[in-house]
Homo-oligomer: A and B are copies of this chain.
Amino acid sequence: MDIYISGYGVVAKEFVQLIHDKAETIASRYTIKPKIKGIIIREGIVQSEDGLDLPRLLDYGVGTMAIKDYAKDSHYPIQPIDQMSGHVLVEATSTNGNDGEPAYSYIKQALTSHMDVVSISKGALVHHYEELMQLSKSVNRRIKFSGATAAALPTLDVGEYSLAGMTLTRFEGVLNGTTSYILDDMHEQDTDLSMSLQRAQEAGIAEKDPEMDVSGKDSANKLLLLAYRFFSLNNHIQDVDVTGIMAVTKEQIADAKASDHKIVLLASAVLDKQTIHMNVQPTSIPTAHPLANLAPKEKGICFYTEEMGRVAVIGGASSPVGAAGAALKDMINLVQANF
C-alpha cells in the first residue's frame, strides 16, 4: 500500500513512527505492506518510488522545514502535487475553519488520482462534504475520517459498523478533549473558568488561542461530520446551534456538583422525522451518566438506538499518537471493509 501524507505536524510524524514500528505486525495480521511514498508540503511533494527512508526521516523534526531539509539532504526534488500516485492519502494538515484549504485541494487531487483518503483534518470535510463525497463516489474511492471525528475515540466506525442496520434516533457526545479538561478542572478544583483555562494552557492542552475549542466550534464540526454520516442529511455548519464554555461560572459548576451532576460541553444530534436538530452547549448531566466520568482529555459518545438501547463509548484520550492511531485504523479498514 503506497501512502502519501499531506502536512507534517506532530500527528503526521507519529503516523510515520507507527508505520515504522508496526510494519511487520500490519503485514502479518492484515496482509498490508505499507510504504510511505511521499509527503506533501505547501511547496509540493517530496517522494520516492521505493518509499521514504523512515528511520532517516524520523531523525528530522516536525514541520515543513524538517521535510525541506530531509528532501535536500536526500537529493529529492520537490514536485507538483499532481505527481502523486499511490493508494491512499493521509490528510494531516492543521484544520482550517475558513475554507478547508489546502486540505481541500489535496483531497481532490488524491481522489482524482484514484486514491482513497484518510482525513485527520476537519476543515475540508466540514466545508465541502457533499462535493467530496460525490467526487469519491464518481471515482469509486472512499474517504474515511475517524481522525477528524474525535480521533482515538471510536465514533464513526461504532455508528457505521458496530450498529450497522440499527435505527439510530439520536446521539450525543463530549467530543472535545480540551473543554472536557477545563470543565473537569473547574469541577475538581472549584476554580473559575479563566483559571482552569490558564492551567490547561500551561499544561499544553489548550492552545494559546483556544477559540476553536472553547467556542464549541471544534465540537460543532465533529458533530456535523458524524451527523452527515449517520443520518445522511443535507445540513451545514450554520445549522448547528453552538454555545461555548466561556460563560460557564464557578457557581453553575458548584450547583451541578451539589446535586450530583457535572457540566460537560455536550454535542447532540436528534432526528425528528426528516429534520435533524444539532446542538452544542454546556449541559448538566447526572454523575451516573456515561459521559460524566471521563478521565482528563478523554471524550465520549452515546448512541441511542431502537433495538439495542443506548451504547456509549468513552476514552481515547486526546494525544498525537492516538490521532495517528485513528488514521492507521482507518487505513487498515480500507482493506478490511468495503465502505
Question: Contacting A290 at CB < 8 Å: which of B25, B287, B314, B332?
Answer: B314
Is A312 interfacial (CB-CB < 8 Å)? Answer: yes
Cβ contacts under 8 Å, A309 to chain B? 152, 298, 315-317, 319, 322
In the complex the two chains form, what is the Cα distance from A22 to B165 in whole Å?
8
Cβ contacts under 8 Å, A164 to chain B? 30, 328-329, 332-333, 336
Question: Contacting A166 at CB < 8 Å: which of B162, B166, B325?
Answer: B325
Cβ contacts under 8 Å, A162 to chain B? 154, 157-158, 161-162, 329
Query: Is there contact, CB below 8 Å, between A335 and B338?
Result: yes
Which of A154, A165, A326 has the most CB atoms of chain B within a 10 A radius of its CB? Answer: A165
Residues of A291-333 at the interface with B, using a CB-CB cut-off of 8 Å, are: 292-293, 295, 298, 302-303, 305, 307-317, 319, 321-322, 324-326, 328-329, 331-333
Cβ contacts under 8 Å, A339 to chain B? 336
In the complex the two chains form, what is the Cα distance from A303 to B158 in whole Å?
14
Query: Is there contact, CB below 8 Å, between B158 and A154?
Result: yes
Known: A165-B30, A336-B339. A311 touches B307 (CB 8 A): no
Is A18 interfacial (CB-CB < 8 Å)? Answer: yes
Cβ contacts under 8 Å, A287 to chain B? 293
Number of A residues with CB within 8 Å of any CB on chain B:
55
Question: Contacting A329 at CB < 8 Å: which of B166, B302, B331?
Answer: B166
Query: Is there contact, CB below 8 Å, between B322 and A315?
Result: no
Cβ contacts under 8 Å, A166 to chain B? 325, 328-329
Min distance, Cβ A336 to any Cβ of chain B, angstroms: 5
Which of A292, A315, A317, A324 has the most CB atoms of chain B within a 10 A radius of its CB? Answer: A315
Query: A143-176 vs B: 1/0 string, CB under 8 Å?
Result: 0000000001110011001111110000000000
Query: Is there contact, CB below 8 Å, between B322 and A308?
Result: yes
Query: Is there contact, CB below 8 Å, between A154 and B163?
Result: yes
Nearest B residue to A18 via CB reads B307
Min distance, Cβ A294 to any Cβ of chain B, angstroms: 9
Cβ contacts under 8 Å, A289 to chain B? 293
Is A256 interfacial (CB-CB < 8 Å)? Answer: no
Cβ contacts under 8 Å, A305 to chain B? 325
Known: A321-B307, A325-B166, A338-B337. A313 touches B316 (CB 8 A): no
Query: Is there contact, CB below 8 Å, between A325 and B312?
Result: no
Is A26 interfacial (CB-CB < 8 Å)? Answer: yes
Nearest B residue to A157 via CB reads B162
Sampled A-B contacts (28; CB under 8 Å) = A30-B164, A30-B165, A154-B162, A158-B313, A161-B161, A161-B336, A161-B337, A164-B328, A164-B332, A165-B328, A165-B331, A166-B328, A166-B329, A287-B293, A290-B293, A290-B314, A290-B315, A295-B310, A298-B309, A305-B325, A308-B315, A308-B316, A308-B322, A309-B315, A309-B319, A311-B314, A311-B315, A312-B315
